[in-house]
């Protein structure tokens, strides 16, 4: 099989730093994890929370800790550090080669959609509380067998709120389906969702928006790996 | 300005897991760091060393520790943990937005080339010892002003040794220059170098090879960020 990952991200208009953090890491026993956190509010305060949460989760995953336990550790440590006063939503999309599974872990109900090889698109709902508010938290964990055709898409709520200033909203499932049919690639879906969201805000995003897409394809089990990143360098 | 990053990576032929680890992270004060470690020998032992070193460096960088101090911390911690018996080479390529600089940190003389906007290509030499062998180690750190046209390229020694089994070698500077003139993009250079190396080994790489390229371009200081990754999923 082959794995294709795409991430697209934009900060709130006229804000120097967004409140989202998204990192991709290689898992110690093989596979990758995409860790996405959205800190409460926006700006530097939100960024410091989300970067802290992602770093905690990434460190745990790199130690071989399972995704659900890594999310609990981040919750407990954030609660201990800030006394339940700050919070973040968390989504982890992992291709776990030991378990031969796609593992999806959530706290605080971040939007996550899964599309199966036969074309069923569903949103994963979550009752797990936002990270950092409670002494005890149990993340929602879904485990899906790794199969060609599987697509997972996670994003922060900037995508859901796009257009709210102008009275328009994005029909997320319909947009995912339309984009996927037009261009069934991780990159096409991530970049397409971001472009639609930014378009609804007339090019001036009302919130930080991060989108991560993971696509399992048929293909050779070995060969080179590639990664590319493109980003603006602020002129301040 | 705009930043373009490309990574290409292949494991030694018929080895389930290579000994290189390469991660990209967002810096807490803005910018990105590419951290590349090559563990001593190959296979799972080397991988566990390189993944440990990269994780230690990434954790320090995420805490706001400067690159040179992060490399020293990794050296000291590896030495304390393994008593000077295991080692790794380390290269960190950072776009540091606070310093408005490209910061290049090395231990154990990993191959690093820099190409300036006016077309000068030079290899950075290093006298800093391999990480983990000595109680005290001082990494080599080069700091270059961030300017459009700047290119930095780091790789593990698999690229240098490509073709050794068949008596051929890669003239690395000449290959970089030829690839860059043909396609002046980070992706063209990273993918082109990997393809040449794998070609010299007749498609069966004799060593793990990782290549990281960072390219500073003129352009807008804001706008979306994109990341893509492509990787095989082993069939075991």
Give the tokens for residue A143: 């485990």
* ipTM of model: 0.91
Instruction: Return the number of other C-beta atoms located less than 10 Å from residue A230's C-beta.
Output: 21
Q: DSSP string spanning B39-56?
A: ESSSSHHHHHHHHHHHHH
pLDDT at A56: 94
Determine whether B214 is exposed, middle or buried from the number of CB atoms within 10 Å of its CB (0-12, 13-18, 19+).
Answer: buried
Q: How far apart are CA A209 and CA A20, in angstroms?
A: 7
pLDDT at B13 over 90: no
Q: How far is B64 from chain A (nearest CA, A)?
A: 11
Report the range of poorest mean pLDDT among A88-97, A147-156, A222-231, B13-22.
B13-22
Substitution target from B33, B37, B227 for chain A, most A beta carbons within 10 A: B227
B185 token code pair: 């993009």
Does the pLDDT value for residue B14 go beyond 70? no
Task: Give exposure, B79-94, as e/b (b: 16+ Cβ within 10 Å).
Answer: beeeeeebbbbbbbbb
Buried b (16+ CB within 10 A) or exposed e, A66-85: bbbebbbbbbbbbbeeeeee
**What value does the mean pLDDT take over residues A98-108?**
96
Residue scoring higher pLDDT (B108 or B43): B108
Percent of chain B with pLDDT over 90: 73
Does A225 sit within 8 Å of B234, measured CB to CB? no
What is the Cα–Cα distance from B221 to B27, expressed in whole angstroms? 17
8 Å CB contact between B72 and B139: yes
Mean pLDDT along residues A73-93: 95
The H-or-E segment that residue B168 falls in is none
pLDDT of residue A20 exceeding 70, the answer is yes
Asked whether the beta carbons of residue B216 and residue A233 sit closer than 8 angstroms, the reply is: yes
Residue A101 pLDDT exceeds 90:
yes
pLDDT band at B60 (very low <50, low <70, confident <90, very high): very high
For residue B15, pLDDT over 80 is answered with no
Cβ of A221 within 8 Å of Cβ of B232? The answer is yes
A23 touches chain B (CB under 8 A): yes
Return mean pLDDT, chain A: 92
pLDDT at B236: 64
Residue of A230, A234, A235, A236 to mutate, testing the B interface (most B Cβ within 10 Å of its Cβ)? A230
> How high is the pLDDT of residue A6?
97
Q: Is the pLDDT of residue A205 over 90?
A: no
pLDDT digits (tens, 9 = 90+) for B108-139: 999 999 999 999 999 998 899 999 999 989 99
Take residue B226 and report the two structure tokens written for it. 């994109």
* pLDDT surpassing 70 at residue A14: no
pLDDT of residue B70: 98
Strand ranges across the sheet with B101-107? B20-26, B31-39, B88-96, B101-107, B140-145
Element (H, E) at B32: strand B31-39
Is B5 close to A187, i.e. CB distance below 8 A? no
| Mean pLDDT across B193-207 | 89
A14: contact with B, CB 8 A cutoff: no
Instruction: Quick: pLDDT tens for A139-164.
Output: 999 999 999 999 999 999 888 888 88
Residue B172 and residue B170: Cα distance in Å, rounded? Answer: 5
Residue A94 pLDDT: 98
* Global confidence as pTM: 0.92
Contacts of B216 in chain A (CB under 8 A): 233
Give A56's Cβ-side CA count (13 Å radius): 24
Q: How far is A135 from A122, CA to CA, in rounded Å? A: 31
Which one of A23, A95, A224 has the shortest CB-CB distance to B25? A23
Which residue is closest to A50 within chain B, CA to CA? B28
pLDDT tens profile B128-175: 999 999 998 999 999 999 999 999 999 998 888 888 888 888 899 999
- pLDDT for B3 equals 96
Which member of A63, A216, A234 has the closest CB to residue B221? Answer: A234
pLDDT reading at B19 higher than 90 = no
Query: Which of A1, A28, A232 is facing B220, going by the closest CB pair?
Result: A232
Over residues A161-186, the pLDDT tens digits come to 888 888 888 899 999 999 999 999 99
Instruction: Give residue A201's pLDDT.
Output: 87
B41: pLDDT strictly greater than 90: no
Coil, strand or helix at A171? coil
Say what the pLDDT of residue B17 is. 66
């Amino acid at each position: 099989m082959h794995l294709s990952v795409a991430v697209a991200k934009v900060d709130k208009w006229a804000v120097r730093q967004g409140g989202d953090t998204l990192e991709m890491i290689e898992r110690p026993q093989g596979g990758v994890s995409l860790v996405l956190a959205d800190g409460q509010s926006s700006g530097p305060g939100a960024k410091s929370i989300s970067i802290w949460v992602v770093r905690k989760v990434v460190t745990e995953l790199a130690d071989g800790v399972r995704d659900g336990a890594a999310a609990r550790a981040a919750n407990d440590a954030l609660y201990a550090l800030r006394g339940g006063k700050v919070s973040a939503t968390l989504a982890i999309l992992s291709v776990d080669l030991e378990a031969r599974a796609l593992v999806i872990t959530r706290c605080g109900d971040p939007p996550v959609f899964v599309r199966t090889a036969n074309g069923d698109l569903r949103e994963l709902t979550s009752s797990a509380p936002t990270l950092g508010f409670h002494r005890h938290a149990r993340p929602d964990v879904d485990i899906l067998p790794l199969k060609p055709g599987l697509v997972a898409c996670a994003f922060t709520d900037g995508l859901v709120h796009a257009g709210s200033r102008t009275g328009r909203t994005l029909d997320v499932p319909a947009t995912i389906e339309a984009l996927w049919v037009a261009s069934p690639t991780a990159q096409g879906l991530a970049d397409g969702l971001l472009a639609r969201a930014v378009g609804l805000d007339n090019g001036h995003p009302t919130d930080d928006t991060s989108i991560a897409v993971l696509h399992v394809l048929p293909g050779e089990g070995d060969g080179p790996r590639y990664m590319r990143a493109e980003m603006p360098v602020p002129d301040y």
